[in-house]
Amino acid sequence: MNTSNQEPINSNITSGENLSYWIASSEPIIFEKLEKSLETDLLVIGGGIAGLTTAYCLAKAGRQVMLVEDGFIGSGESGRTTAHITCALDDRYFELEKIFGKEKTILAANSHMAAIEWVDKTVRLEKIECNFKRVDGYLFLHPSDSKETLDKEYEATKQAGLLTQMLPDVPAIASENGKWSIKFPGQAQFHIMLYLKGLAGAIVGMGGKIYTQSKAEDINKKGAKVNGFDVTANQIVVATNTPVNDVLTMHTKQWPYRTYVIGAKIPKGQLPYSLWWDTGDHNSKWISQPYHYVRLEELNEQYDLLISGGEDHKTGQADDENIPEEDRYVRLIEWTKKRFPAIEEIIYKWSGQVMEPIDSLAFIGKNPGDDNIYIITGDSGNGMTHGTLGGMILSDIISGNDNPWEDLYSPSRITLKTADDYLHEVGNMTAQLVDWISSGDIKEAAGLKPGEGGIISSGLKKIAVYRDEQNNLHACTAVCPHLGGILQWNADEKSFDCPLHGSRFTTDGKVINGPAKGDLKKIQIHEETLS
């Protein structure tokens, strides 16, 4: 299987050990490294879909734009996506109506349809060759769910102005014969890395600057330090998926989940290019009710790649359901084979992290408490449209134009009707702090084989240990530098993950996902003292 990096995690390329199809099938998108102090009008931090769309929109509006990316373009969660571009939101429209009311739900539906149109228009305008296709999508029932959900959702999507249809079957899925689905027409899909390459080329073509392997730190209203150099800017956009400038607010409004993907060969012509989603596991212990999501991508002349995802859990808490990471792929393969029996060899598997916002919609706008620092975060499983909306909305705000969705997505909004979910997730976070007094997940480092890691309790200390392929032991503190969560070993992606707010670290302690800003402190150890 073509899934693995050469080294545990090359965080320039991606944020986990397993390579996604998109990354494995494209050249890394690299620009020069920032190596001097500079001034710019607009500084965008983060080279995923949100950062690139923002830089593109503002360069097009005539602004002087600079984008800095810690790794390479797409090396964060964008490179690990499945790239359904859709207005069928993770959370149901009838739930959105309860939280935001009818008018704002119409706005939410409009905004996602507008994002799809924007991508379509931009692909054509910039002549981006990224396998972009307009396709239909189908929402069907998870076995734990009842038809009432589809009825309510159909009604709510109609009220929201979407051109959905209720169908008496699930197109192309024989095992769901006789069951209902909602058709969402006019959705889309693309190869994300080819799309990002096209956007990056267009930004540079308009005079924008992009720097890769350029990490921003000490983000403030005057700019940031990038690779230790001062970058002075009038406006700063933090598009790092989870804000790395967050001190007090955003980590209390969104929760990190890991989600799993497989890619299987399927003979061409067996299935139409479409998107499929089920309505999610209603018996799950997780608030986000994990759902399955499936699409096709062109692979070669003979085969398409069927890309199927799901089996989510809260970051760092896979074992709380007694389903370790590896078993999640097994379950996903089983689920997929049952519904798409024409699949052949599984040639990819990877996982990634999504940030689930408390009230279903992303946070796009001024960072609470700041005048010239903006954020795009909380985009859940709809990051293609939310990330695109990030660019569309921020370019209007920064240019002084009105935007119909500014208030809806404001990071400072208060939505009172989500109190139950909020308390549940806060309770989950508090429970994670018990790990301070529990023992580690392994007893001694001596038992670790090359390529394995774990958490050891040594007296009052928690230590994150990893034995590399050369048999050298690496040790760091297992206490998250964000707010002190105890890290968990992720054996699948070979990272140390924080169960509180989703910070993640390489086996050598380098931070790969915020909100933590810095690396783990290394610990000098003698193997025999770690037992």
Contact 116, 254 (CB under 8 A): no
**Site map 242..271 versus ligand FES, x via CB under 6 A:** ---------x--------------------
Tell me the C-alpha distance between 33 and 152, whole Å: 51
Strands (E), 88-228: 133-140, 165-167, 181-189, 209-211, 216-220, 223-226
Q: How far is the CB of 349 from ligand FAD (least distance, A)?
A: 11
Rounded CA-CA distance 226/502 in Å is 23
Would you count residue 483 as binding ligand FES (CB under 6 A)?
yes
Q: Applying CB under 6 A, does 484 fall inside the site for ligand FES?
A: yes
Q: Report cis status (omega within 30 of 0) of the bond before 171.
A: no
* 352 binding ligand FES? (CB under 6 A): no
3-state SS assignment for residue 424: helix
516 binds, among ligand FAD, ligand FES, none (CB under 5 to 8 A by kind): ligand FES
Q: Which of residues 453-482 bind ligand FES (CB under 6 A)?
A: 480, 482
- Work out what residue 500 binds among ligand FES, ligand FAD, none; the CB cut-off runs from 5 to 8 Å by kind: ligand FES
Task: Pick from 26, 259, 288, 495 the residue near ligand FAD by CB under 6 A.
Answer: 259
330 contacts: CB under 8 Å, gap ≥ 6:
none
| CA 214 to chain CA mean position, Å | 21
Provide DSSP, 432-492: HGGGGTS--S-S-GGGPPTTEEEEEEETTEEEEEEE-TTS-EEEEE-B-TTT-PBPEEETT
Helix (H, G, I), strand (E, B) or coil at 244: coil
Q: Which of 16, 57, 63, 77 touches ligand FAD by CB under 6 A?
A: 77
Q: Does 378 bind ligand FES (CB under 6 A)?
A: no
Calpha distance 108→449 (Å, rounded): 50
- Residue 501 as a binder of ligand FES (CB under 6 A): the answer is yes
Among residues 113 and 500, whose Cβ is nearest to ligand FES? 500
SS3 305: strand
Q: Would you say how long the chain is, in residues?
A: 531
The residue from 208, 381, 485, 509 that contacts ligand FES (CB under 6 A) is: 485
Residue 40 in tokens: 């710019």
Q: Does 122 bind ligand FAD (CB under 6 A)?
A: no
Binding window for ligand FAD (CB under 6 A); candidates: 34-42, 46-54, 398-406, 482-490? 46-54
Taking CB atoms, the residue at the shortest distance from ligand FAD is 383
Least spacing, CB of residue 163 vs ligand FAD, in Å:
20
> What binding mask, one character per residue, do residues 99-118 give for ligand FAD by CB under 6 A, x or -?
--------------------
Catalog residues that contact ligand FES under the rule CB under 6 A: 251, 480, 482-485, 498, 500-503, 515-516
- Tell me which residues touch ligand FAD (CB under 6 A): 45-51, 68-71, 75-78, 80-84, 215-216, 239-241, 244, 259, 261, 293, 309, 352-354, 376, 379, 381-385, 387, 514
